[in-house]
Chains A and B, each alone.
Chain A
Amino acid sequence: MLANAWVIPAITFVSFWLILFFGKRLPYKGAEIGVTALALAFFLSLATAGAWVSRPADFEVEPPVKTGESNVHEEEHAIAAAVESEEHAPNGHDAPAPSGEDHGAEEHHEPIREAVQREVTWFENGQVTIKAGIHIDGLAVSLLVVVSLISLLVHVFSTSYMHGDERFTHYFAALSLFTTGMFVLVTASNTLQALFGWELMGLCSFMLIGHWWEDSKNSNAALKAFFTTRTGDVGLLVGISILFFAAGETFDIATTNHAALAGDIPKGVLLGAAAALLVAVIGKSAQFPLHTWLPDAMAGPTPVSALIHAATMVVAGVYLVARLYGVFWQAFDIEAGGYNPVAMTGGVTLLIAAALAFVQRDIKKVLAYSTVSQLGYMVMALGVGAWTAGIFHLFTHAFFKACLFLGAGSVSHSGSHHSFDMVDDMGGLRKYMPWTYRTFLVATIALAGIFPFAGFWSKDEILLGAGENGYVAFMIVGLVGAFMTAAYMFRCVYLTFFGEPRGAAAHHHPHESPPSIVVPLQILGVLSIVAGLLNAPGIEKFSEWTSNATVLGAGVEHHEFSIAAALLSLAIASGGIATAYAYYWRGVRVGAAKYDRGPTGVVYRFLGNKYYLDHLYEGVIVRGIREPIARGAYWFNQKIIDGVVNGAGIAARGLARFVYEVLDQRVVDGVVNGTGLASEGAGAGLRTMQTGKVQQYAALMLVGTLAFAGLLWAFV
């Protein structure tokens, strides 16, 4: 199955065309094709994962060869050539592909699983042969499983959520194509093919975000997403072009990584390529300052948001860094510690997005900023050399973020009459939508990073990696982020599911969603609990399966689990939850009505009624002694504790508002508007040159040609 993994993108691609041509005539309007194709793709992804796991880990890693000569593995060639000739005859050239994979780079020589690379010649131009093929290793396999599973659940969810939509069929076609794009990117053996998948996703995100284009707000959001990511794509093109020439006229990813790690590419060139690629990552993965498109992208249907934010599109940038890690590793000296652009981007994004999440009223926007923040974690993890941790966080995050988004979709579908406004149209929904509430809560806890849920293990690994690799500043950033994550997510849970129903939730008879919505939620909820155990201490299967010298630089290793670090991050996340609890459940919010105390009322009453003790001791302790103590305790409680809690809340709100109003609205938007004004001015100036007289143009051409000839004559 490893060598035949190209079937997976092929299935969804075929499904796209089938839905487009025949979807409308089928009883379920094409949804059945999409769901079947994705179920098949998921099954095949699992088979691929099984084949990968059972593949013997017997490949000895060799240190990078200084000359950049590729290691040739004869056995792999024979297999590749044999299978190729059957399947890809139309493309000609059955010649075995030069396998550039598995150039080792690790210092310690632990045997790993050898990546499977299989290629056919796409086209030839002069001396350059462009290949198309697949490169399957642990990274690709883990992404395949996640993407196919999330996409399958999103398809199932959509059958109910999008029921009766006038462009139902086109919606499913676009979903299939979108998934194809991600599969192509994940399995790509060369950067050109990766670019193809990358752009395919950009196009489909445009189609899906603007699905309800009749509303100009939605089509504007689609355009914004498209153009913002396009800005980053310029960087991708530049980076790929530089790497193509730097790695000896090849797009092959493994060869490129190897050349970078072996020091065959000059440092300056490598730096240029890595910087350009980083721009692409910033655009696609919505990192600061190009993160603005992602919250707007919430204009699309909710399942699309789940797909975009959990498994595809935004993780493409993270995947790109992980895939071309040799380049980033070498260019930015990640081994050295301190500060580097990748980690800085991630760290800044993490905090800024988390702060923004506090002031949002729209439940999907909270989740959107949360996604931006978590992507910041992943990018930061890769930036600090915690490769496995970054990928593992991508893996676990996919489950609970998909669960949260689909949960939000379920709430708007059945609870709040298609509104996403938490403050005006939600509240108290836990009684009406028990399963949505339970899965949402589980995913929130997983996102907050509470033991033993999924997010705990991956976040902990990132923080540990940052600390151990000499990036202490980023570990602190990560801890602050963990606090904020826990706090804003529980704010979201409170506003949605606790308190009295408000607005639409009060007037439209909220009820639980149908099974096609609830079952995906339950599956994702379970995965949010258990997915993290894959890499828990003592099991650590995930790092073993993804361990691959193709992408790992020297010295990248998995760090031992540390109880102290885990307790610290756990304590900080709990602190965030406690703050949110005190702020919302206990109703100490400034200037807002008190809400119902909720099911945690037992705890609340216990805390609130500190006078139980007083009652008990009333007859025992002398009134004169009791009173001052009680008054003192009351004063301490009112002034100090509440003061701290309120202060933290106000400060966070103020910071968030500052970031949103000044940084986001003025600085970022100012630059964007400024660019527009500048090009407008330049256009007005150049306009006068357009006289419409042909002969004047000819004269200008002559002058230009003469000037150019003069330059050539003078300097060549």
Chain B
Amino acid sequence: MYLVQFLFLAAFLFCVGMYGVLARRNAVLVLMSIELILNSVNINLVALGAWRGFDELVTAQIFALFVIAIAAAEVGVGLAIVLLIYRNRASVDLNEVAEMKG
């Protein structure tokens, strides 16, 4: 069972996603990076589930399906927000969107 390889892949994807979220200015890219993070978690879930045996695999897959569904919803909302920001400002630079400053 190639457990370690899968975990490495997941960790790599997570780090790439994290970098994207923290460093990129473009809101669309940040959203995509979040997808990477979520999918790295999915890989972790399924890999560890398969490693533990059949029952856990089913649980893990259902869990992963949930994550995928929620990620889809999140992207839907996120892109809608980005689109509106773009219409109002003609820019999707996250640094410019800081109206919530306390």
**Would A702 and B101 count as touching, CB distance under 8 A?**
no
Chain B, range 1-55, C-beta contacts under 8 Å to A: 18, 21-23, 30
B96 to chain A, nearest CB (A): 10
- By a CB distance below 8 angstroms, the chain A residues around B30 are 694-695
Residue A615 at the B interface, CB < 8 A? no
Chain A, range 662-716, C-beta contacts under 8 Å to B: 687-695, 698-699, 702
**Would A694 and B97 count as touching, CB distance under 8 A?**
yes
**Would B101 and A690 count as touching, CB distance under 8 A?**
yes
**Would A692 and B94 count as touching, CB distance under 8 A?**
no
* Smallest CB gap from B101: residue in A: A692
- By a CB distance below 8 angstroms, the chain B residues around A694 are 30, 94, 97
Among A689, A692, A698, the residue within 8 A (CB) of B98 is A692
Among B18, B23, B94, B99, the residue within 8 A (CB) of A702 is B18
A688 to B101, CA, bound (A): 8
* Smallest CB gap from B102: residue in A: A690
A694 to B18, CA, bound (A): 13
- Interface residue total, chain B, C-beta cutoff 8 A: 13
Among B18, B21, B23, B99, the residue within 8 A (CB) of A692 is B99
* Smallest CB gap from B21: residue in A: A698
Q: When A698-B21, A698-B22, A702-B18 are in contact, do A693 and B102 touch as well, CB less than 8 Å?
A: no
**Would A691 and B101 count as touching, CB distance under 8 A?**
yes
- By a CB distance below 8 angstroms, the chain A residues around B94 are 693-695
Residue B73 at the A interface, CB < 8 A? no
- By a CB distance below 8 angstroms, the chain A residues around B101 are 690-692
**Would B22 and A692 count as touching, CB distance under 8 A?**
no
- Interface residue total, chain A, C-beta cutoff 8 A: 12
**Would A695 and B97 count as touching, CB distance under 8 A?**
no
A629 to chain B, nearest CB (A): 85
A694 to B82, CA, bound (A): 13
A707 to chain B, nearest CB (A): 15
* Smallest CB gap from B18: residue in A: A702
- By a CB distance below 8 angstroms, the chain B residues around A698 are 21-22
* Smallest CB gap from B25: residue in A: A695
**Would A690 and B18 count as touching, CB distance under 8 A?**
no
- By a CB distance below 8 angstroms, the chain A residues around B98 are 691-693
- By a CB distance below 8 angstroms, the chain A residues around B100 are 690, 692
A162 to B101, CA, bound (A): 51
* Smallest CB gap from A691: residue in B: B101
- By a CB distance below 8 angstroms, the chain A residues around B99 are 692
A283 to B25, CA, bound (A): 53
- By a CB distance below 8 angstroms, the chain B residues around A689 are 102
**Would B102 and A699 count as touching, CB distance under 8 A?**
no
Among A687, A690, A691, A699, the residue within 8 A (CB) of B22 is A699
A687 to B101, CA, bound (A): 9
Residue B95 at the A interface, CB < 8 A? yes
* Smallest CB gap from B95: residue in A: A693
B47 to chain A, nearest CB (A): 19
Residue-by-residue, is B83-100 near A (CB-CB < 8 Å gives 1, otherwise 0)? 000000000001101111
Residue-by-residue, is B58-94 near A (CB-CB < 8 Å gives 1, otherwise 0)? 0000000000000000000000000000000000001
A694 to B100, CA, bound (A): 9
A711 to chain B, nearest CB (A): 20
* Smallest CB gap from B100: residue in A: A692
- By a CB distance below 8 angstroms, the chain B residues around A695 are 21-23, 30, 94
- By a CB distance below 8 angstroms, the chain A residues around B97 are 692, 694
B46 to chain A, nearest CB (A): 21
B31 to chain A, nearest CB (A): 11
A124 to B98, CA, bound (A): 46
* Smallest CB gap from A699: residue in B: B22
Residue-by-residue, is A390-426 near B (CB-CB < 8 Å gives 1, otherwise 0)? 0000000000000000000000000000000000000
B97 to chain A, nearest CB (A): 7
**Would B102 and A687 count as touching, CB distance under 8 A?**
yes
- By a CB distance below 8 angstroms, the chain A residues around B22 are 695, 698-699, 702
A369 to chain B, nearest CB (A): 44
A693 to B97, CA, bound (A): 7
- By a CB distance below 8 angstroms, the chain A residues around B102 are 687-692
- By a CB distance below 8 angstroms, the chain A residues around B18 are 702
A681 to chain B, nearest CB (A): 15
- By a CB distance below 8 angstroms, the chain A residues around B21 are 695, 698
A243 to B38, CA, bound (A): 41
* Smallest CB gap from A686: residue in B: B102
- By a CB distance below 8 angstroms, the chain B residues around A699 are 22
- By a CB distance below 8 angstroms, the chain B residues around A690 are 100-102
* Smallest CB gap from B33: residue in A: A698
A687 to B100, CA, bound (A): 11
A702 to B34, CA, bound (A): 13
A688 to B102, CA, bound (A): 7
A529 to B97, CA, bound (A): 74
B94 to chain A, nearest CB (A): 6
A347 to B44, CA, bound (A): 63
- By a CB distance below 8 angstroms, the chain B residues around A687 are 102
A687 to B30, CA, bound (A): 26
Most buried by B among A688, A692, A702: A692
A677 to B65, CA, bound (A): 49
A698 to chain B, nearest CB (A): 5
* Smallest CB gap from B24: residue in A: A695
A338 to B95, CA, bound (A): 67
- By a CB distance below 8 angstroms, the chain B residues around A692 are 97-102
A690 to B99, CA, bound (A): 10
* Smallest CB gap from B34: residue in A: A698
6 contacts between A and B (CB under 8 A): A692-B99, A692-B100, A692-B102, A693-B95, A695-B21, A695-B30
List 15 extra interface pairs beyond A693-B94, A694-B94, A695-B94, CB under 8 A: A690-B100, A691-B101, A691-B102, A692-B97, A692-B99, A692-B100, A692-B101, A693-B95, A693-B98, A695-B21, A695-B22, A695-B23, A695-B30, A698-B22, A699-B22
Closest 9 CB pairs of A and B: A690-B102, A692-B101, A692-B98, A692-B100, A687-B102, A693-B98, A698-B21, A699-B22, A691-B101
